[in-house]
A and B are shown apart, each in its own frame.
Chain A
Amino acid sequence: MFARFLILGLSMAKILKKEQLSDAVWRFRLHAPRIAGKRRAGQFIILRPREDSERIPLTIANADAGEGWIDIIFQAVGKTTMQLRDLAEGESVSDLAGPLGRPTHIEKFGRALCIGGGVGAAPLYPIVSALFAAGNDVTTIVGARTKGLVILEDDIKASSNRLMIATDDGTYGTRGFVSDVFKGLMGAGEKFDVAFVIGPVIMMKVTAALTVAAGIKTYASLNPIMIDGTGMCGGCRVTIGGQTKFACVDGPEFDASQIAWDEMVTRLNAYKSFETQARENYHACKIA
């Protein structure tokens, strides 16, 4: 009967902790015992900050089954993520469902390369730590525009055999992109058995092209626009090897060599003008 009780209290996803990781990037710890117990690396949740909000998918960045929480990390760049940011510690998100998507396939590959760009370091972290726990030799490359935008450095470092950092402006680590660091590794004659690439879609396209060309089996985690997250609407469809797939149920990870990247970019921009307007309205509304 106790377990049944837990289910009924499920929709109360209280914000246990709220932290600002960089200028626009936030980490929320949510009370979600059931999701924390079930989730595996690579899975995501869908939430609505308020009861009139849009549904948005966010990767589970960390979780503790014993303590019953999950962490989500997001960049407050649109109306919905700003609504989320504006909730206070102790408040609850209106709706939270998950864990969704297929978990990452983890095994002992040998030498694993994990590459994260910007906030992509957040969804990358659980994969890094699962690969590390499975006994892989893990090299992680994390990139950001500038030093202040590098997130989860300590966490990722603790689960990697080697962490390499690149910043566009050279304020931290190597000056340049993650792809430049990767080229350096190749130049040094290094070999990898598998690669995981997560970040902004252009970064994934460019970086995965290099890892695939180097003969490394590469997976990318896609973040298309999603509504229900259960396969019902098909809004998140992507073309993989000429076939239409739904990122929510068939993904979010796919063989990077098979992804139709340009279509993915086009579809991500479908609501750009609407999003800009919604963000401005929300901002204006807050000032008023």
Chain B
Amino acid sequence: MLVTARIAMKEQDPIARGRNFNEVPYGYTGDEAKAEAARCLQCKKPLCVEGCPVNVKIPEFIGLIAAGDFIAAAKKIKETNALPAICGRVCPQETQCEARCILGKKGESVAIGNLERFAADTERESGNVELPPKSPSNGKSVAVVGSGPAGLTCAGELVKTGFDVTVFEALHEAGGVLVYGIPEFRLPKAIVKKEIEYLEALGVKIVKNFVVGRTATVDELFEDEKFDAVFVGSGAGLPSFMGIKGENGIGVYSANEYLTRSNLMKAYIDDPSTPIIKGKRVITVGGGNVAMDSARTALRLGAEKSMIVYRRSEAEMPARAAEIHHAKEEGIEFNLLCNPVEIIAGENGAVTGVKCVRMELGEPDASGRRRPVEVKGSEFVIDCDVAVIAIGNSPNPLIPNTTPGLKVNEKRGTISANEADGRTSKRGVYAGGDIVTGAATVILAMGAGKTAAESIALDLTPDPGLEDLPPYLRRVNYSGPSFDGNVGGSTRF
């Protein structure tokens, strides 16, 4: 088997890009894409597809790129994935599709993410985005709560199968974490906007500035607005703090606040309406993608030094390999095995440094990662004028708290929903994404949105004569998730 090297995607110079908000990779040219696509072995039993939460028809679309039919490749992806330009950029391919690629066993896997991005970009830039065939209206309406990856995917799937879909977004812009969280240099907002416009063209209605739980409760969406089903994809919108001294000082941000100010509120432009403290020395605490986004944003906002502080070692970092690589290239300093114990403020309450202790790795913990243990007497202070806390988010409690009858995991604050079908304990209510799993990835949320859409279709529009059967038997040709033993159990209706 001949394994050729993967075609690298050209990128902005690391030092130059650290000072601008433009996207880091330039994308493939047509020739580069064809050459990369030609590396695919077109496996008879493609393992890559099994590694994808939304089962994109990977060999088929790559085959179309190799043949030079880029638009057809984009359409092939869109059969199972409504947001390919986004997934091509933010999916952790190295642990999903690409991890399963046979080529990866002897060399480098096919660059599936890069190719997905290329196909989606080519179609969008051609200005020739055709709408897929749509089923006639089935007279049923679904409310989708949250316009992030889970909600948008669920809405897109449902509208194609004939549902009347309304998406409710609490903020003034649709996209959820795609617009408030993920920075411009990793996911240009113009692309998110285009993908949302595509869904609107399909018939999805988006209502902004509508806080479900406050403006109307889930029950009111059923009773007053006569929706037939509600999908909750409200995300992991409640930032965690460390609970250490000094955390409420001036210049200490949650990553959500820091990124929201910069991304959603455009604090990075000249004379912005919403301010952000542009630190000269910025510390970001955490090791996930959000931490990398924050540290790289700090650099672009003008920091002379942007530093990561993480209590475990690099091997345990949850961030995508590409994000860690990019951050390092740009000169972000990594302080590993290092845990903050106090945030120090000056007289005016502004942060001046973070006191840390050194850590060493002990026995594996519940997550299978080696537990960091404090090294006694190893305290030291790193000076900074901005500290960003990026240690995770818990689910937003607004909907769990205002929806009687909805079963919730009390400890984690998540809505209990079946992984296999998205059904919750409350009839007609489905849930997916971070509100169910706790903070995870864009693609897992999309997978959950898609699964829930299939369940909603099964429950609301069974094939004639099959209405009385259990949901998984209501289709003559059903190809969705199989019976998982949960039906009729405590989390079902």
Where the two chains meet, the residues of A that have a C-beta atom closer than 8 Å to any C-beta of B are: 3-4, 7-8, 10-11, 34-35, 38, 48, 52-55, 79-80, 94-100, 227-235, 237-239, 244, 246, 249, 263, 266-267, 269-271, 274-275, 278, 281
Closest Cβ of chain B to A82, distance in Å, is: 12
Closest Cβ of chain B to A7, distance in Å, is: 6
Q: In the complex the two chains form, what is the Cα distance from A249 to B394 in whole Å?
A: 14
Closest Cβ of chain A to B366, distance in Å, is: 25
Closest to B256 in A: A233
Taking the complex as formed, is B472 at the interface, i.e. its CB lies under 8 A from any CB of chain A? no
Most buried by A among B211, B243, B254: B211
Inter-chain contact B275/A271, CB cutoff 8 Å = yes
Inter-chain contact A55/B172, CB cutoff 8 Å = yes
Which A residues are CB-close (under 8 A) to B398? 230-231, 249
Q: In the complex the two chains form, what is the Cα distance from A231 to B394 in whole Å?
A: 10
Where the two chains meet, the residues of B that have a C-beta atom closer than 8 Å to any C-beta of A are: 141, 166, 170-172, 180, 205, 207-211, 214-216, 224-226, 237-239, 241, 243, 247-251, 253-254, 256-257, 260-261, 265-266, 271, 273-275, 277, 348-349, 396-398
Closest to A281 in B: B271
Of the residues B271, B274, B396, contact of A231 by C-beta under 8 Å: B396
Which A residues are CB-close (under 8 A) to B397? 231, 249
Rank and list the top 3 A-B pairs by shortest CB-CB distance, nearest first.
A266-B349, A233-B257, A232-B237
Closest to A6 in B: B225
Which A residues are CB-close (under 8 A) to B207? 7-8, 10-11
Inter-chain contact A234/B256, CB cutoff 8 Å = yes
Knowing A7-B225, A11-B208, A232-B260 touch, does A54 contact B239 (C-beta < 8 A)? no
Knowing A3-B225, A244-B243 touch, does A232 contact B238 (C-beta < 8 A)? yes
Inter-chain contact A228/B209, CB cutoff 8 Å = no
Inter-chain contact B211/A233, CB cutoff 8 Å = no
Inter-chain contact B172/A94, CB cutoff 8 Å = yes
Knowing A8-B207, A11-B208 touch, does A95 contact B273 (C-beta < 8 A)? no
Knowing A3-B226, A54-B265, A249-B398 touch, does A230 contact B211 (C-beta < 8 A)? yes
Which B residues are CB-close (under 8 A) to A3? 224-226
Most buried by A among B237, B247, B273: B273
Most buried by B among A8, A79, A231, A244: A231
Inter-chain contact A4/B215, CB cutoff 8 Å = no
Q: In the complex the two chains form, what is the Cα distance from A4 to B228 in whole Å?
A: 13
Which B residues are CB-close (under 8 A) to A234? 238-239, 241, 254, 256-257
Which A residues are CB-close (under 8 A) to B277? 270-271
Q: In the complex the two chains form, what is the Cα distance from A275 to B271 in whole Å?
A: 11
Q: In the complex the two chains form, what is the Cα distance from A10 to B209 in whole Å?
A: 8
Of the residues B209, B211, B247, B261, contact of A227 by C-beta under 8 Å: B261
Closest to A50 in B: B273
Closest Cβ of chain B to A177, distance in Å, is: 26
Closest Cβ of chain A to B378, distance in Å, is: 27
Closest Cβ of chain B to A254, distance in Å, is: 15
Q: In the complex the two chains form, what is the Cα distance from A98 to B209 in whole Å?
A: 8
Closest Cβ of chain B to A253, distance in Å, is: 16
Inter-chain contact A244/B273, CB cutoff 8 Å = no
Q: In the complex the two chains form, what is the Cα distance from A34 to B215 in whole Å?
A: 7
